[in-house]
Structure 1
Amino acid sequence: MSSKKILLPPGSPCASDRNNIVHVAEDPHIDSDLQAVYNWLISQPIEKLLTTAVNDAIEYVLDGARTWRFDLNSIDVDSDERASLGTKLQYRVLAALGLKKESPLDTKILGIPVELKGTVRTNWMIPREGQCEICLLIQVNSKNDRYRAFLMRTHRIWLNDGGNQDQKRTIMADAIRSYALPLLPWTPLPSNPLKLLKPAEKDIVFNSKNGIKRRLTALFGFLPEVVIPRIAIETVGANAKDVARRARQAKPDVYSEHGLIVLMGTWPSQRQLAAKYGFDISGEAWVALKPETLGADFEIAKTMALEFGQDTKPVS
């Protein structure tokens, strides 16, 4: 039975598997390059940028508009696809932060090489070239719709000894707690409202024997006063042409069958009315509101909803 690896403190000698050059593991608070990269990152609107990057990477892997998938933890998503999120995330983080792919690692910040590592597991796999280097670490917990981020120089002495066949090593849990600089604590990700559907409701919404308009009418009826982003609409109508048109045509049916007024973010007037009652439908999102919520604006909203119920598009 092997004993637990002892966490060595800053000031201890360290050598990476890559070159075996002995150096001293610096305290992260006096590591000038680490601090420079950290200060640059926190000077950015980091939560907004990383949230967008993580969400885009998840949507790319799910590819809902072609697969009907909307949950990364679904049995319909195989383990290899789930693991690929880290690679997809890398390029989206670069784009979000305005960085370019640049050797010797993944990018450079202020001329300092930085490795980007994302994981959907409980730890990160650090490659040989990333040992003793500065790493931006992002952990995604899609089950709870959240993620967090750290910046750490992943010294070899702070990595576990057991590696995989590619000689990648995980980070010691105690080292993360002690020597990783937190960039973001657990931070909410946009939750796909399709996850809110009960099994019987999913059977109706994703029943290909029903027409798309019929299924979208059911979707709005099942999720009143829940903001539904465009990606969810496209997922329900996967592989169909002009799904938004079908959703527009469903608006009168949603009113006649469920008594709900569907507003869509494509039109400024509807977007502003939704915002008045606390619903953000920017980015071409949709929401089905109850008459009692709209109060005195009910008739105005009803006119808006039914007026654009046919195959019409907003005037730019």
Structure 2
Amino acid sequence: MTDLALKPALPLPGHICTPDPRPGRTREPHEILAPEYDDELEQVHAWLAPSAVERAFTQAVDDAIKYVLDGSRTGRFDLMSPDVDSDERASVGTKLQYRIINELKLVKEPPLDTTILGVPVELKATVRKNWMIPTEGQCEVCLLVQVDAAGARHRAFLMRTHRAWLRGGANKDGKRGIVSAALALYALPVLDWTPLPPEPLKRLSPPQRDVVFAPRVGQTERLTALFGYLPDVVVPRSSIETVCAGNRDPMRRARQAKPVVAARHGLTLLCGTWRDDLELAASRGFDISGDAWVALTPAALERRGTA
């Protein structure tokens, strides 16, 4: 007999589900409803449906990753780097919960993480393949966010995480993973795989990275090299702060690099804090709002009407 034949069948709607006991709260057995008959689940899903969710979730995930990397102090820009340990990587999920609440203009409140249209909602985020559901989240409406750091993307589901759809083995905190078949059948998609904002520092080759992050070399010199390596690439302020980690006033050093970049690389360096630069970049199809920078090649500079 194969291992597959030994596995118990996935409980279907109509099955009676009994949550794990939790101190201080009575958990009653209840009938599992199919998602289309679960009014609370459907109401929350409808509230999350508008396209603004994509912007909100993308901003929240990007902020959480950057918070953990702390690039302006550590010089790190890749969550999958060996310089980032597994505990730090896992902490993205915790940071992300608060950022999603903020981006969706919700409130952190009991009995779970927040409420949407009066429905208690548990927020769970993971940088792994599965979510670990705590006892208080069993049989509740859960917003599930998954971050694929290696692929620089994220997605989200909404699911009532019935105990019957969770794995048998729990970790030391009593949390259980979701059975993959239950996720495939009963989770409602909120957001399909969506790219995260690009990190231009990842485009540097190892030799280029050595130059840009060279120790005991001035910030202006290293930023000049950075822009020379990345022509016609929008470089956000956070990337510049990461290159200049631990130093003061990196934006001033970037401004000082303007004439050097022009003389050495033949590029026109534009900064989003200056209206003329912002408008010039936009007219060439580059968005440098939010203090971003771009070093335009002559060909890009001559191009018009692409915004």
TM (norm. structure 1) is 0.91
In the alignment, the residues of structure 1 paired with residue 27 and residue 268 of structure 2 have an alpha-carbon distance, to the nearest angstrom, of 67
**2:242 paired residue number:** 235
Aligned-residue identity in percent? 58
Q: Offset of 1:38 from its aligned partner?
A: 0.8
**1:158 paired residue number:** 165
Deviates more, 1:60-69 or 1:4-13: 4-13
Kept in 1, the 8 Å contact 2:237–2:291? The answer is: yes
Amino acid at match of 1:118: A
User: Of residues 58, 61, 83 in structure 1, which corresponds to 2:65?
Assistant: 58
- 1:221 lines up with 2:228 in the alignment: yes
**2:182 paired residue number:** 175
- 1:245 lines up with 2:252 in the alignment: yes
In the alignment, the residues of structure 2 paired with residue 258 and residue 164 of structure 1 have an alpha-carbon distance, to the nearest angstrom, of 55
User: Of residues 133, 139, 143 in structure 2, which corresponds to 1:136?
Assistant: 143
Kept in 2, the 8 Å contact 1:14–1:157? The answer is: yes
In the alignment, the residues of structure 1 paired with residue 266 and residue 8 of structure 2 have an alpha-carbon distance, to the nearest angstrom, of 63
CA deviation map 1:139-179 (0-9, x unaligned): 00011110000000000111111111111100011111110
Q: Please give the residue correspondences for 1:1-316 in structure 2 after superposition, counting only pairs within 5 Å.
A: 3-18=6-21, 19=26, 21-43=28-50, 45-295=52-302
In the alignment, the residues of structure 1 paired with residue 233 and residue 34 of structure 2 have an alpha-carbon distance, to the nearest angstrom, of 47
In the alignment, the residues of structure 1 paired with residue 103 and residue 67 of structure 2 have an alpha-carbon distance, to the nearest angstrom, of 15
Q: Offset of 1:10 from its aligned partner?
A: 1.0
In the alignment, the residues of structure 1 paired with residue 31 and residue 151 of structure 2 have an alpha-carbon distance, to the nearest angstrom, of 39
In the alignment, the residues of structure 2 paired with residue 44 and residue 100 of structure 1 have an alpha-carbon distance, to the nearest angstrom, of 21
Kept in 2, the 8 Å contact 1:230–1:285? The answer is: yes
In the alignment, the residues of structure 2 paired with residue 147 and residue 209 of structure 1 have an alpha-carbon distance, to the nearest angstrom, of 37
In the alignment, the residues of structure 1 paired with residue 8 and residue 299 of structure 2 have an alpha-carbon distance, to the nearest angstrom, of 62
Q: Offset of 1:241 from its aligned partner?
A: 1.0
CA deviation map 1:186-235 (0-9, x unaligned): 00100211001100011011112211110000000011111100000000
- Structure 2 gaps, min length 5: none
User: CA 1:235–1:198 in structure 2 vs 1: closer, same or farther (change >3 Å)?
Assistant: same
Deviates more, 1:18-27 or 1:121-130: 18-27
Kept in 2, the 8 Å contact 1:5–1:160? The answer is: no
Stretches of 4+ moved more than 4 A in 1? Answer: none
In the alignment, the residues of structure 2 paired with residue 144 and residue 263 of structure 1 have an alpha-carbon distance, to the nearest angstrom, of 29
User: CA 1:296–1:15 in structure 2 vs 1: closer, same or farther (change >3 Å)?
Assistant: closer
In the alignment, the residues of structure 2 paired with residue 174 and residue 282 of structure 1 have an alpha-carbon distance, to the nearest angstrom, of 43
Amino acid at match of 1:74: S
In the alignment, the residues of structure 2 paired with residue 24 and residue 117 of structure 1 have an alpha-carbon distance, to the nearest angstrom, of 24
CA RMSD of aligned residues (A): 1.3
CA deviation map 1:87-114 (0-9, x unaligned): 1001101100111110111011111110
CA deviation map 1:42-63 (0-9, x unaligned): 1461001111111100110000
Aligned pair count reads 297
- Structure 1 gaps, min length 5: 298-316
Kept in 2, the 8 Å contact 1:277–1:293? The answer is: yes
Amino acid at match of 1:179: Y
Kept in 2, the 8 Å contact 1:151–1:180? The answer is: yes
- Secondary structure of the equivalent of 2:106? coil
